[in-house]
Structures are given as structure tokens and as C-alpha cells.
A and B are shown apart, each in its own frame.
Chain A
Amino acid sequence: MSEVLVVIDHADGEVKKPTYELLTIARRLGEPAAVFFGSPDKGDAVAEKVKAYGAAKVYVVDDAQIKGFLVAPKAEALQQLAQKAGPAAILLPSTFEYKEVAARLAIKLESGLITDAVDVQEGGVTTQSVFAGNYTVRAKVTHGTPIITVKPNSAAPEQAEGAATVEAFTATVSEAARTAQVVATQPRQSTGRPELTEAAIVVSGGRGTGGNFEPVEGFADSLGAAVGASRAAVDSGWMPHAFQVGQTGKTVSPQLYVATGISGAIQHRAGMQTSKTIVAVNKDPEAPIFELVDFGVVGDLHTVLPAATEQVTARKG
């Protein structure tokens, strides 16, 4: 069976959930071989994690020479790895970074690229959600090695024992690839809440919060949810951009999305329309968001949310 390269999404060796989803999907296409860009001393620990999701091999690519440079070195490394392994497909997490890696890789390998897949089936047929979630498109790569970036929550991770044989891979990275450089980073403060794109429940607030996100955060915490925001809330400076849901923010597809004080503009819908269950609280019965909802409350979020929070907490109590 051919290898399927799966690029591991991680922060400092901390493997993220989408990696397990990718490995689960990869098993439909061949034998998963995970690719870890990181510090080699974390290789074994990472291998242990991906082993449980069927990784037959783990390529450890020492990132000492490429860390701090943008995209191009990783594309070169993956090109070299693909030439050696001759994979049936290459799967990457659909983050901005890896979409760009995939873009460069597609040109290098003369291979078709499909971005933002929400499903990949046997034979490499992908499903994408397009036009703000109003259409689904099924497509296939027909030239070269299929390169597919896959969105979070595209599959339920299924465990399967893999050999997870660790293999160091030394990439030759050109000077030309090491040009755009990170000169400073400021880590964002962790909120202690679930990651927006990975969360099972998201509670978002918009202009209707009037800048007071406490009711939104309180309700989110009672449900163990992530907090999101509309662009209006972000543009007003009430929430950092990292919390924005929509076309130019994050796309989320949780089990439950709660939109409060959000009108439901097409650009906002683009980021949440594929959520399984949608609930809205809005004081305007005509708000377009109500066209999407499974359940809606016409009311003031500043009174509805705190009361609901209290009741949820009491039920859980």
C-alpha cells in the first residue's frame, strides 16, 4: 500500500486534534506516514501520539534551519520527501500556513491542489463547502500527487494501532527559501477556553453586545464553549481579530453555534453556516440570522444570556 503523507499540526510538539482527523482520513487512501516539522527530541513523544491513530511511519524533519522562516522551506522539504516516498497523496491541515505550503508544493510537484476539503473519500474524492456554505462541490485531483488541505472537524478521529516507525529526514533547504523571516512574535494570551476552530460548541457575540462580552463569555463557559465574534465586534475593538468568525476570520463547523447580537450577514454566514445546530438570540425578529436557526429567541441578549447561564449551571450543578 502506498504511503499517504500527513503533515502534523502541532504547537511545540503538542499535537492538535485535526492531526488525528487527517490520519483517520489518510487511512482511506493508503498507509499514513506522518510528517513532523519540529525539534527531533520531541519526535518520539509525537510518534507515540500519532501511533494511536494509525501512523505507520513518522518522518521527523528537524526544523532548526527553517523555523522562523515563512512557508518556502517547508515546501522544499516536502517536495524532497515526496520524491523519496512517492506518496499516493499529501494531506495538510487547512491553516493559512499549510495552505501556502501546499500552494508552493503543488507548483513544485506539478500536482493538483484542493484546499479546504471538509471530507475526503476513498479514491481521493473531496468535498468542499463553497459560496458561503451555499454549495458543496465534489472534486478530485487528476494530475500528479493529490495535495489536499483538510479543515478541522472533517472526520471523527478513529483510533487504530500503527507501527509509527520514526525516521529522520534531512531536507536540503536553499538559501533562497530562507528569506521572509519572523522577526518578532507575541504569543496571544490563552483564554483557557477551547480552540475556536476545534470546539464542539461556539457562542459568538456581535454588535448587539454593545461591547459588553460578559454575557457571551458567561454563557460560553457554562456550556464549555469557545467564544467567537462578528467582524463588527472586532472592528469596534471589543474582541481581538483571532476571535472573528466569517469570511475573513475563522470558519467554524461545531455541533452547536450560538449567535447573539449578530445579524447574520453573508460574510458571517460564510464562517458558520455548516454548523450542525444553529441558535440565535437577537432582539430584531427580522434579523437574517433567524433564517438559519434551529432555535431562535427574539429578545435582549443582556437579559436572556445571564438567565440562561444561571439555568444551565443549575442543571449541571
Chain B
Amino acid sequence: MNIVVCVKYVPDATADRKFEDDYTVDRVGVDGLLSELDEYAVEQALQFREKREGEEITVTALTVGPEKAVDAVRKALQMGADSGVHVVDDAIAGSDYVATSLVLAKAVEKIRETAGSVDLVVCGMASTDAAGSVVPAMLAERLGLPQVTLASVVESQGDQVRIKRDSEGSTEVIGARLPIVLSVTDQSGEARYPSFKGIMAAKKKPLETYSLADLGVDASQVGLSVAWTQVEDTTARPPRTAGEIVTDEDGSGAGALVEFLASKKFI
């Protein structure tokens, strides 16, 4: 059985994230890392493998992104993935969801060709930069697979997968049969840290780099110039004007708070 886990390299959320002059996300000037939410995807892919002892299961970490994005794949390898695939091509820069999902789908197909099958694609619930939560569904659409998303618990037996998730007004159990595209939330369980052994082992694991040509994708299908959406402008949020801060002494805080709320007509 073969599992592909999609990992995105994103600018650090705790740094000052910003845009380039062409309104694409600055992916070079800001330190990047494996999206924290994709660590949960790697963790669930590894647990899927570990829970099914005796079966031959490989986990391949896949990223689409600039040179430095290979760090996201490396981290996944250090955590325990077996092999990595990095799709990098200057033409991809500025791609929107539609183009990114195309490249991811073609890469999954390529992995499928080499490995014989791809039975499970695991994604994070959202990337921490774009935060669309749409790539897994697009990938499923392109691959012609069911999508089972936002899992907080994943269980499997044979080709059956069951997940638990929180939906709008209820908790749901979803069932589907492999192959599927799965996405998992940060409720699915802490992601492991790479061990020293894992870090050393990762250096010897196979890591392939593909260009668009390797995937049979024409450069005219991706990138900023053909994006189906166009950014007109970006504006930094004006800093909030400093508010009034009072210190509660002998119960004065509550009165001041209520006074403020009343002055704003909230009471």
C-alpha cells in the first residue's frame, strides 16, 4: 500500500509575513517551515502505517514549492516518511489553488505510476498561509477520488476507512473505501518530533525532484500569469489605535468595563 502525504512549505506565522510587489506571498524573505498543520497529516500517515503491522506500506511526502520547500519534505522524512518528492519549477511561482492542485494531482499520478498504486493521500486541514482548506477537495476532484476531510480520529481496516469529525451542528462518523483523499485536523493527535536517529536516517532516504516537464504539465497551465484569480491590491491592516487599559483595584475594573460597554451601547 502507498500513502502520499502533501506537505506545504509556508512562511512562519509568527514572523512578519508579507507580499511581493506582484502581490504573491513573499516565500523567500520570510523564514519558512513545514506548515504546522501538515505535521498532523504526516503523523496520521505514519500512524496509519504503524497500526497496520505486517503490511508493506510506504509513505511518500510530496511538496510543490520553491527551492527551500524541500525543507518541508526533509522534516517529513525526519519524522519517518520513507521517501520524498519535491516539485519545483520557476513557472509554478504565483500559482493559485487551481494550478497548485493540478501540479499535486500530476505528481500523485507520477508516484502512482512508479509505485503501482496510491491508496491514500493525506493532507492537512488548511495551509497556514493561504488557509483555504480547498486543495484536498480539488485534488480529490482531479484524481476522481472521494474526499474525507477534517478528521479528528482516523481508523482503518482492510480498504475501509472511518473517521470522526466535528461538523457544523454535530459530530459525524464518515465511512469510505480506499483510495481516498483524507485531511486531518490539529485535533487528530500531537505530531511527533524527529528523533536523532530519524534525522540521521532521513539523509539516506530517496528524495526526487521533478520539474513540470517531468510531470507532463505545460508551463502555460500554471503560475501567476494564468491564474484564474487576480489580486488587485493588498493592504496592511492599520495598527489598532492603542486602547484604554485600566488596572482592577478593589473591584474598580468591573465598573470601568461596564461603563465602557455602556458608552459603546453594548448594554
Contact = CB atoms under 8 A, between A and B. Distances in A.
Interface string A212-225: 00000000000100
Size bin of chain B's contact surface: 35 or more
B5 to A, nearest CB: 18
A131 B17 contact: yes
A281 B150 CA distance: 32
Contacts of A112: 96, 98, 227-229
Interface in B229-267: 229-237, 240, 243-248, 251, 253-258, 260-262, 264, 266-267
Residue among A96, A187, A293, A303 with max Cβ neighbours from chain B (10 Å): A96
Given A136-B234, A182-B172, A298 B257 contact: no
B142 interface: yes
B60 interface: no
Contacts of A277: 264, 266
Interface of A: 11, 70-72, 75, 95-97, 99-104, 106-108, 110-116, 125, 130-144, 176, 179-188, 201, 223, 231, 240-242, 247-248, 255-256, 266-267, 270, 273, 277-279, 281, 285, 290-300, 303-305, 307-308, 310-312, 315-316
Given A96-B150, A267-B13, A104 B144 contact: no
Interface in B175-226: 175-177, 180, 185-187
B147 interface: yes
Contacts of A72: 140-141, 146-147
Interface in B99-136: 101, 125-126, 128-129, 131-136
Given A137-B234, A297-B256, A312-B261, 19 more contacts: A107-B141, A112-B229, A115-B133, A131-B17, A131-B18, A133-B237, A135-B235, A138-B232, A180-B175, A182-B173, A201-B266, A247-B126, A247-B128, A266-B13, A278-B240, A291-B240, A294-B240, A298-B246, A307-B254
Given A113-B97, A295-B243, A134 B237 contact: yes
A131 B264 contact: no
A266 B149 CA distance: 25
B166 interface: yes
26 contacts: A70-B148, A100-B149, A103-B141, A108-B141, A112-B96, A116-B131, A135-B234, A136-B235, A136-B237, A138-B231, A180-B148, A183-B162, A183-B175, A185-B173, A188-B171, A223-B261, A248-B126, A248-B186, A290-B245, A295-B244, A296-B244, A303-B248, A305-B254, A308-B253, A312-B258, A315-B258
A9 to B, nearest CB: 9
B174 A182 contact: yes
A186 B237 contact: no
A267 B140 CA distance: 28
B260 A279 contact: yes
B228 A134 contact: no
B254 A304 contact: yes
Residue among A103, A106, A134 with max Cβ neighbours from chain B (10 Å): A103
A188 B170 contact: yes
Contacts of B264: 256, 277
A181 B174 contact: yes
B246 A103 contact: no
Contacts of B258: 308, 311-312, 315
B101 A107 contact: yes
Residue among B172, B245, B257 with max Cβ neighbours from chain A (10 Å): B257
A113 B128 contact: no
B138 A103 contact: yes
B101 A296 contact: no
A11 to B, nearest CB: 6
Nearest to B164: A184
Given A113-B98, A180-B174, A296-B245, A311 B254 contact: yes
Given A296-B243, A303-B251, A142 B228 contact: yes
Contacts of A115: 132-134
B33 interface: no
Contacts of B267: 223, 312, 315-316
B253 to A, nearest CB: 4
The 7 closest A-B pairs by CB, nearest first: A299-B248, A112-B228, A307-B254, A143-B228, A103-B137, A103-B134, A100-B137
B255 A113 contact: no
Contacts of B97: 103, 106, 113
Contacts of B246: 295-298
A247 B152 CA distance: 16
A32 B146 CA distance: 31
Given A112-B227, A308-B254, A139 B232 contact: yes
Contacts of A111: 228
A181 B240 contact: no
A141 B240 contact: no
Residue among B148, B234, B244 with max Cβ neighbours from chain A (10 Å): B234
Contact of B185 (A248, A293, A315): A248
Contact of A131 (B129, B142, B144): B129
A97 B132 CA distance: 12
Given A104-B140, A266-B14, A292-B240, A139 B229 contact: yes
Contacts of A113: 96-98, 134, 228-229
